[in-house]
Chain A
Amino acid sequence: MTVGSTSELMSVRHLSQTFAAPVWPWRKSEGVIALDDVSFAIARGEVVGLVGESGSGKTTVGRIIVRLQEPTSGQVIYQGRNISTLKRSELAGYRRAVQMVFQNPFASLNPRRRIGDLVRDPLEIHRIGDPTTRNQRVREMFRLVGLADHLVDRYPHELSSGQRQRVGIARSLAAAPSLIVADEPVSALDVSVQAQVLNLFVRLRAELDLTVLFISHDLRVVRFLCDRIIVLYLGRVMEAGSRDDLLTRPTHPYTKALIASVPSSRPGEVITGDIAQMPPNRAGCVFAPRCRLRAALNDPQRCVTERPELRLLPDDRTVACHFAELGSGSDS
């Protein structure tokens, strides 16, 4: 991993998050483990995809990074500093530098305020510029994300879903952040609108040299946009690597299952990866109950007794599977 390298903008180290409430009544109320020792780094200018299904902890990671939530243990390091030790004044600077784009632009925009004001908010909160330059900045943001000038006085409900997500993006960019945490920003959009917003991300990245943590459940979207992909499952990192390594030569059985379940544009292809819902086993591999490789290897004991740590493979990717090398080739 590139932890500690000079180009690193941000990293999370050994993040764990436990929630007290028992979500599953049939399970012992030991608390729900949302994140279980998650570490990764993001380099400056990189777009990293954080992929996982519901309950994988991907949104929790995003919320911890923008400090909407305090982790149970572990640190977020931003530009070499642990953000939990920041002083109040420094924290304001951090909040300006790290901004979030939310999934649902219906819910994340105040319906009673005009969208020009919504985009101006970050400038006022962070006391950037004076009223004139703020107005200029709002217009600049509108142009940047492709919103027509005359829309400044509109309310969120008067916009289409794509326009609304552009407002969400403009708002997050107004204070000129260096890191954007985007939590499923296109999953609520229709295909044609989704393409427009994805292209906007590509353009913004090129124009503003943005660093983005892109949280998504959709591998197709992540493949289009991201340089590197991190796969989460039940609060643990299963595999992380460059887009091409991960998607064309996945090594973790879960990554393979995830890829196999993507609706293919190849008609008639058989779905592989028959996966049943089962409670995880935290002593060993959390994916073991659903793992085809483990089944193919006749259920090795190690999978349930020993937690597979993330280890580096020769091609510079990391994987958390005792037997990743045995499953190479096409998926089992």
Chain B
Amino acid sequence: MRSEIEPLLRVRDLSVTFPAAPDRTYAVVERVSFDVGRGEIVGLVGESGSGKSMSLLSILGAVPRPGLVSATSLSFEGRDLLALSEPARRELRGSRIALIPADALGALDPVLRVGEQTADVIVDHDAQPRRSIATARVLEAFREVSLPNPKSRFRSYPHQLSGGMQQRVVIAAGLLLTPDLLLADEPTTALDATIQAQVLRLLASIRETRGVSIILVSHDLATVAMISDRILVMYAARIVESGPTLAVMSAPAHPYTRALLAAAPTLDREITTTLPTIPGAPPDLRVSDQGCRFRARCPVFEFLGAPSECVSSDPPLRPVADGRLAACHHVDEGFPVVGAGTLASGSLP
């Protein structure tokens, strides 16, 4: 991890807790730490309930009540986000940190023309807005995201646009105030395959031209791997593996990452008769547990005959090969995915 210069976003021991009972809480995000450098695309991957969206919301300061956010450090350009007043934080949202939601249509107001509501972003944030200037900037942003016919699209209502165009409008709105950090929450999940590829490419090109940093959240490792420099894998509220995309994808270290890669069908791996599955379901986070959260589903745990350290202590993230971190007591021992058919180590052709 970089230490010499201050990263754009620095997250240390971020936890988000909700009350489980009057005297007890449970964490939906637990001691999550990562950095986002300038111009970096970081992929945040996990299944439903793993805490990836909640992590994004805590960066925005938008965790719903009664959730509580705590961290030893949650700083953006060196400013402590948790210490900011709500007005100051509101100022930061949109102008410096922008959210690109999954549901573009839901994010757009159905009764306003898309150009007008996009221009409102500028009007809301600028002290002395002039409508003509706002309009010109919106058209420029529409061109930047390759929205076809920006002038006529400006006057369209959201429902008149295709899903891909709606997503482009939302991305354009996110870019208007030249943010430094884009938080993209499943931005392509609702889109068709060919459009999804376009939107990913658009995000990659925005990074090239503007040097903006992006946190790309998705449930699909392969999608994230297409444009991310680094990948963070979340499971049961924790980061279980992080590292450069190539290293994580070609030689995943944590048993969960390996199982996740093996369970997803691909276009290039040899076709097997059955897919290696991950048995069981993620743990109930409301039940407290001293040990590794993955052990009930972990082939290594089973192979080793339920070693006591997996039961008694939650493994911390620690360095493994190729600049990666993994949270597993047995990561160095290089066990194959036992009983899982193919090992997802060779996704490179």
What is the interface of chain A, defined by CB distance below 8 A to chain B? 24-26, 53-54, 160-162, 190-192, 194-196, 198-199, 202-203, 217-221, 223-224, 247, 257-269, 271, 273-277
Contacts and interface: CB of A to CB of B under 8 A. Distances in A.
B249 to A, nearest CB: 5
B275 interface: yes
A265 B269 contact: yes
A265 B346 CA distance: 10
Contact of B148 (A160, A223, A258, A277): A277
B311 interface: no
B274 interface: yes
B146 to A, nearest CB: 8
B246 A268 contact: yes
Contact of A267 (B198, B220, B245): B245
B193 interface: yes
Contact of B347 (A203, A259, A265): A265
A195 B268 contact: no
B123 interface: no
A260 B196 CA distance: 11
Max count, chain A CB within 10 A of own CB: residue among B250, B265, B273: B265
Interface stretch (B19-27, B133-141, B179-187, B221-229): B221-229
Interface string B268-288: 110101111110010000000
Interface in B190-206: 192-198, 200-201
B196 to A, nearest CB: 7
Contacts of A257: 194
Contact of B197 (A221, A223, A261): A261
B265 A196 contact: no
Contacts of B259: 192
Contacts of B225: 263-265, 267
Contacts of B220: 191, 263
A264 B222 contact: yes
A63 B273 CA distance: 29
Max count, chain A CB within 10 A of own CB: residue among B195, B200, B266, B348: B266
For the complex of A and B, 5 pairs with smallest distance between CB atoms: A261-B197, A53-B192, A263-B222, A195-B263, A192-B278
Interface of B: 47-48, 148, 160, 162-165, 192-198, 200-201, 219-223, 225-226, 245-246, 249-250, 259-261, 263-269, 271, 273-278, 281, 347-349
A198 B223 contact: no
Contacts of B265: 195, 198, 220-221, 223-224
A202 B192 contact: no
A271 B163 CA distance: 20
B239 to A, nearest CB: 18
B333 to A, nearest CB: 23
B208 to A, nearest CB: 13
A55 to B, nearest CB: 8
Given A192-B260, A202-B274, A262-B193, A267 B249 contact: yes
Contacts of A261: 193-194, 196-197
B296 to A, nearest CB: 13
Nearest to A290: B194
A190 B347 contact: no
A218 B222 CA distance: 13
Contacts of A277: 148, 162, 164-165, 195
Contacts of A190: 47-48, 219
A276 B271 contact: no
B264 A191 contact: yes
B226 A199 contact: no
Contact of A192 (B165, B274, B277): B277
A269 B277 contact: no
Max count, chain A CB within 10 A of own CB: residue among B148, B221, B275, B278: B275
B15 to A, nearest CB: 23
A223 B349 CA distance: 18
B278 A195 contact: yes
A53 B264 contact: no
Given A265-B225, A267-B245, 5 more contacts: A25-B160, A190-B219, A192-B277, A265-B222, A267-B225
Contacts of B268: 264-266
